[in-house]
Structure 1
Amino acid sequence: MPHSVTPDLQPTGTTGDETMEEAVDVQNTEASVPTKEDEEMGNIDGEETKLVKTDDSDEMDEPTPAQENIKPDPSPAKVKQEINLENIFDDMSSDEEFPSSAAPDTKVSPSPQDAPSPINIGPSARASDPEVMRSFYQRLFPWRPLFQWLNHSPMPSNDFAHREFAFTLSNDAYLRYQSFPNSELLRRDVLRLMPSRFEIGPVYSTNPRDRKTLRGSTAFKPIAKELCFDIDLTDYDDVRTCCDKANICIRCWQFITMAIKVVDVALRDDFGFKHIMWVYSGRRGAHAWVCDKKARTMDDSKRRAIAGYLEVIKGGAQSGKKVNVKRPLHPHLARSLETLKSHFQADILEDQDPWATQEKADRLLQLLPDRTLNESLRKKWDSAPGRSSASKWADIDALAKSGASKSLDTKALLEAKQDIVLEYTYPRLDIEVSKKLNHLLKSPFVVHPGTGRVCVPIDTRKLEAFDPLAVPTVTELLGEIDKWTGPEEVGGRNVQDWEKTSLKPYIDYFRTFVAGIIRDEKESEKEVKVKREREEGVAAPEAMEF
């Protein structure tokens, strides 16, 4: 059943009954099918993005014209000598929340990309304009918190240095296996290449840039990555009536709200995860990043087990019954039903009115178990063509109680109604995103080129208040910097550009989230150290006396 898990992943407190294809780096090529995420990042009409792909063979292929113009980044080993710890963390803000270590006064040599980009953005400017993106990456993108989030510490480590980044360039080239020892070099490469977006992959056993120098395929393998989930509103097109395809509104966004509620509580209560960040995809969906260390280090079998535990809706838009769960209901499903009941009444029956037409009403009748009851319902609805979905839903119980069907199995009817609620409200996950350790996912805070909106984190404490259409666009943010009339300095500290914009609450939330991860990682390291010292103390032989 969907809710069985492997023994070592049995949820606490309950009882339970590929990936993004190998694509290019600067040196190789391979055909690959764009994922749903690639389509989402295409133009606003949903056109598929054309990607230049490469395979990962040991032989170097002939570079494409687009690739010939891309110069490999300087070797991290050569640049590292010029970087000191203070500069590594001296991103674009003074961040008392994440203190850096003192270091010599050596400075990073300036580069053309560091020259300030003009802020004056005209009303016709678009998110895809190079100068708009350059200004955003220079002035607003939270490079330092991003580094500390992926590094799990203020001090540089392989958690970041061996992490794969993938860039989608303006000419549709797709560069995989990029890696950087610190956020400053990542920032410089982004400003040099100006990708329309970049994605985050796993931490590898060695530096991804060095993979071709290794002997044997087992020497280069993914060893850690956040457990991720992807929810996209296009998967709800058969049940949402207000919009379809790439279009969204606040009414159909409630499907995402429901999904976040259900998945978030399951991850926390059933699996004990703590550090979960939800991120708006920039147009029509949301991504979850589970950042606990025990989640990051799970292998593919454990990831598949958790994905299977959460998967309930199966089958495409043209399939029949999409929910087939065992009784008695698994505790996770029973809890989810309680959460979703009020949403079903308000957001589905009233706002979506899913059975307003005869065709849609016939779909509802197909999900009910009693043929005689169905005939009575069809007659009633045919006599009242304008009857609302809420009224039709109430008619089911009313006619059942009236004795319209003498052979009615009331238990089967109740279970069918529960399955209908789940089919119309339960999260529809792009499950492939969660199954594989080496799947790449769009970075938080990048800009969606179709909408211009920033992929901001969603504060689940204010989940009901989140409005995707109110998320700032990159051009709005740059205009807010121009219009800033507040002080330029507070308490002896310069006010940073992001603090002058409506991006501030999202970055503040992200910084707090990152601080929680770092704090717990430090506590965990202390506990491991104390335990090791105790074991060594017990095992150490008594000192010899002379």
Structure 2
Amino acid sequence: MPHPVSPEVSTPEQEDGGLPDASENEEGQQGDEVASAGEDQMDIESPPMPVVVKEEVRLDDMFDDDDDDDDDDEYGEFPESSVPEIKPEGAQDAPIVTAPSARYSDPEIMYAFYQRLFPFRYLFQWLNHSPSPTNDFGHREFAFTLQNDAYLRYQAFPTADLLRKEILRLNPSRFEIGPVYNTNPRDRKTLRKASHFRPVAKELVFDIDLTDYDEIRTCCDKANICRKCWTFVTMAIKVVDAALRDDFGFQHILWVYSGRRGAHAWVCDKRAREMDDPKRKAIAGYLEVVKGGAQSGKKVNVKRPLHPHLSRSLDILKDHFQSDILEVQDPWRDPTRSDRLLHLLPDRALNDSLRKKWDSSPLRPSTSKWADIDALAKAGASRSLDAKALLEAKQDVVLEYTYPRLDVEVSKKLIHLLKSPFVVHPGTGRVCVPIDPRRLEEFDPLSVPTVTELLGEIDQWGAVGTNGEVAAGDAGGGGEESKAGVARRVQDYEKTRLKPFVDYFKGFVVGLMRDEKGGVGVDGRKIKREKTEEEEDNGGEDRMEF
């Protein structure tokens, strides 16, 4: 039996996107992440937990919350001053009172969120691709950011229950999801050579961050966002989602709000999960059109005739360009910004005529300046004007101001970690909820519930006398009648505005597992798929607590 190993401790360097990849030395061996979190750095010992792949496991048994306290020994010894103890059964029904000045990442708030609202069950099924435990989940890396900013890497868990217990013990401010490895990440130091420890699968991921749009958005900058600039994310999701589905044939694409200023895509198809780094890099390059930093020149240089992906993208984006860019963002009203537009046009004589016209009306709106280009071209402002070159230049302008700006480095490597869905962003308190691509226009990041609002909604539900239960068949209260005719217990997330997001995630996971039927996990073993509760339609009591 392998000796206990200490979890890796480091400090996260990015707030909103993915986390730094594991470094590699000259021999190709994966280096250990080590960083300090101040003088009070915790030294946490966790024993490795071997993965047992079970063929016959009932879903209710896997998620039974009536665990013995003796099971806690599997997690190692933790300083009592740093990690809260799991509360007794029934304690979750006590009201959670938070002070108005409480931080979103306060330990009490985060503990209540994990205990009462986080959908551990569906997260497990999503990453495991089956109700029965496999190495798809058991060899998956998790990384925790603790309350003192310590960062623990290479954590792994055989079941959702063990993941839930560990999170309740550590009470992290957030956690990230990494790849599936060829062995349990906790056992990596028992291998003879570090090069024998390697990633074998992970979702293909993409990161959209509004800070990459700072040079073209006029309403906000840096970490600030509003409904006006959120349309850049909406446009990006439309274009990337269409390309992934139509050009690559992927079906299971989960879009998740990052909690502040962006969105992440998780491509969950088995074919995507098993791609190596060169294939991931190729797809990222396929989608990368806008290149160069804020001080660079022309950022869009595409070949003609346009690739079908770019032609489709222009069709998707043309209406957004007219309304969201020209009218809402008004990017060229300021004379210093309109110079950027002139630098993107190919004819010097036309540019001189436009500059003269705009200098006479310094605050001319962008819609008028965009119309002036065709008007002066038709009026003969330049005798040497190439109409085809002008059209292509205008297409490039539309792409530069509307096409997705991806952090492609996030997508290129298997070993990159990315923030888990449904964690709480420590800066805004908002939950990282899924985004339904079919209802993009309805999604408002500023209306996404915060953790304190959700906990307050649970308390408000109990205050009106429901006591967490509803009459059987009561459509107004969300009740569900079991076969025995007894009303089931309403779970805490169902009492809040988190419900539609969990329900969407639940449906996504069911569809993914349905397509995995008869497939083979990354451990090489055939997945024995059991029916989900929804498919059985038994309406029985749900024994798994969020």
**Fold in common (TM above 0.5):** yes
Counterpart mapping for 1:254-403 below 5 A: 254-403=231-380
Is the CA contact 1:126–1:475 (under 8 Å) kept in the aligned structure 2?
no
Deviation at 1:219, TM superposition (A): 2.0
* 5+ long unaligned stretches in structure 2: 73-84, 471-478, 482-486, 527-546
**Shift of the alpha carbon at 1:120?**
2.2
Alignment partner for residue 500 of structure 2, among 496, 505, 512? Answer: 505
Structure-2 change in CA distance of 1:143 and 1:91 (3 Å): farther
**In 2 relative to 1, CA 479–265 (structure 1 residues): closer, same or farther, beyond 3 Å?**
same
User: What amino acid sits opposite 1:331 in the alignment?
Assistant: P
One-letter amino acid matched to 1:268: R
CA distance in 1 between counterparts of 2:356 and 2:450 reads: 51
Question: Is 1:40 aligned with 2:16?
Answer: yes
Residue 137 in structure 1 maps to residue 114 in structure 2: yes
Which secondary structure state, in structure 2, belongs to the residue aligned with residue 287 of structure 1? strand
2:409 aligned with 1:432: yes
Partner of 1:216: 193
Partner amino acid, structure 2, of 1:505? P
The superposition leaves residues 339-396 of structure 1 with CA deviations (integer Å, 9 ceiling, x where unpaired) of 0000000000000000011110111000000000001001111111221000000000
Cα distance, 1:262–1:91 mapped onto 2, change above 3 Å: farther
Contact 1:41 / 1:450 at 8 angstroms: preserved in 2? no
Task: Evaluate the alpha carbon distance shift between residue 57 and residue 342 of structure 1 in structure 2; reply closer, same or farther with a 3 A threshold.
Answer: closer
Using a 3 Å threshold, how does the CA distance of structure 1 residues 29 and 475 change in structure 2: closer, same or farther? closer
Structure 2 counterpart of 1:73: 46
Paired AA for residue 278 in structure 2: S
- Between the two proteins, the alignment pairs up a number of residues equal to 482
Q: Could you tell me which residue of structure 2 aligns to residue 518 of structure 1?
A: 513
In the TM superposition, what whole-angstrom CA distance separates every residue of 1:66-121 from its partner, at most 9, and x where no partner exists?
6863432344249999xx855663267xxxxxxxxxxxx98565763143355222
- Quote the residue 1:449 is aligned against: 426
Per the TM alignment, residue 502 of structure 1 is displaced from its structure 2 partner at its CA by 0.2
| Counterpart code for 1:356 | R
Is residue 254–residue 265 contact of structure 2 (8 Å, CA) maintained in 1?
Answer: yes
The answer on whether the counterparts of 2:7 and 2:154 sit within 8 Å (CA) in structure 1 is: no
**What is the distance in 2 between the residues matched to 1:391 and 1:63?**
55
Alignment of 1:146-157 (within 5 A): 146-157=123-134
Give the residue type in structure 2 aligned to 1:39: E
Using the TM superposition, give the Cα deviation of residue 170 of structure 1 relative to its aligned residue in structure 2, in angstroms.
1.6
User: In the aligned structure 1, how far is the partner of 2:6 from the partner of 2:37?
Assistant: 10
Distance in 2, Cα, partners of 1:204 & 1:381: 59
Q: Bigger CA drift: 415-424 or 58-67?
A: 58-67
CA distance in 1, matches of 2:220, 2:235: 17
What's 1:413 paired with? 390
Match of 1:96 in 2: none
Distance in 1 of aligned mates of 2:330 and 2:108: 45
Taking a change above 3 Å as real, the CA distance of residues 71 and 525 of structure 1, as seen in their structure-2 partners, is: closer
What is the aligned counterpart of 1:232 among 209, 216, 222? Answer: 209
Q: CA separation in 2, counterparts of 1:59 and 1:425?
A: 40
Tell me if structure 2 keeps the 8 A contact 1:372–1:404: yes
| Corresponding residue number in structure 2 for 1:13 | none
Runs of 4+ that moved beyond 4 A: 25-30, 53-68, 77-81, 84-88, 105-111, 523-526
What residue identity is the alignment partner of 1:378?
R
Cα shift readout 1:302-329 (whole Å, capped 9, x = no counterpart): 0011001000000011111000000000
Give the match's secondary structure for 1:322.
Answer: coil
Aligned-partner residue type, residue 113 of structure 1: I
Contact preservation (8 Å) 1:242, 1:252? yes
Contact conserved, 2:346 with 2:390, CA < 8 A, in 1? yes
CA distance in 1, matches of 2:33, 2:404: 43
Deviation at 1:216, TM superposition (A): 2.0
Q: CA contact under 8 A between 2:48 and 2:186: conserved in structure 1?
A: no
Question: C-alpha deviations, 1:21-77, integer Å up to 9, x for none?
Answer: xxxx945567x8x55xx23389xxxxxx999x9998899999987686343234424
Measure, in 2, the Cα distance between the counterparts of 1:66 and 1:463: 46
Measured in 1, the distance between the counterparts of 2:243 and 2:30 equals: 41
Give matches, 1:18-29, under 5 Å. 26=6
Aligned to 2:62: 89
**Following the alignment from structure 1 to structure 2, what is the Cα–Cα distance between the partners of residues 204 and 319?**
39
Check whether the contact 1:27–1:54 (CA below 8 A) recurs between aligned residues. Answer: no
CA separation of 1:114 and 1:516: change in aligned 2, threshold 3 A: farther
Q: Which residue of the partner structure matches residue 138 of structure 2?
A: 161
Question: Aligned equivalents of 2:342 and 2:152: distance in 1?
Answer: 50
Amino acid aligned to 2:297: G
What is the CA–CA distance in structure 1 between the aligned matches of 2:375 and 2:433, rounded to whole Å?
A: 46
Matched residue of 2:410: which SS? Answer: helix
Residue deviations 1:249-275 (CA, integer Å, cap 9, x gap): 000000000000000000000000000
User: Is the 1:162–1:204 contact (alpha carbons within 8 Å) kept by the matching residues of 2?
Assistant: yes
Q: TM-score, normalising length from structure 2? A: 0.82
In the TM superposition, what is the alpha-carbon distance from 1:189 to its structure 2 partner? Answer: 1.1
Distance 1:70 1:135, change over 3 A: farther
Contact 1:161–1:181 (CA under 8 A) maintained in structure 2: yes
1:91–1:106 Cα change, 3 Å: closer
Q: Distance in 1 between matches of 2:335 and 2:312?
A: 32
Give the deviation of 1:212 after TM superposition. 0.5
CA distance in 1, matches of 2:201, 2:183: 12
Partners in 1 of 2:126 and 2:415 — Cα distance?
18
Deviations along 1:428-471, one digit per CA (max 9) or x if unpaired, are 00000000011100000000000000000001111100000000
RMSD of Structure 2 on Structure 1 (CA): 3.2
Secondary structure of the structure 2 residue equivalent to 1:175: strand
Tell me the SS of whatever aligns to 1:218: helix
Q: Which of 485, 491, 504 is the aligned partner of 1:496? A: 491
SS at match of 2:147: coil
Structure 1 residues 481 and 186, CA gap change in structure 2 (3 angstroms)? same
What is the aligned partner in structure 2 of residue 537 from structure 1?
A: none
Please say if residues 335 and 363 of structure 2, whose CA atoms lie closer than 8 Å, have aligned partners that are also in contact: no
- Which residue in the other structure is 1:541 paired with? none
Change (3 A) 1:216 1:279: same
Residue 113, structure 1, aligned to residue 86, structure 2: yes
User: Which residue identity lines up with residue 504 of structure 1 in the other structure?
Assistant: K
Q: Distance in 2 between matches of 1:63 and 1:39?
A: 17
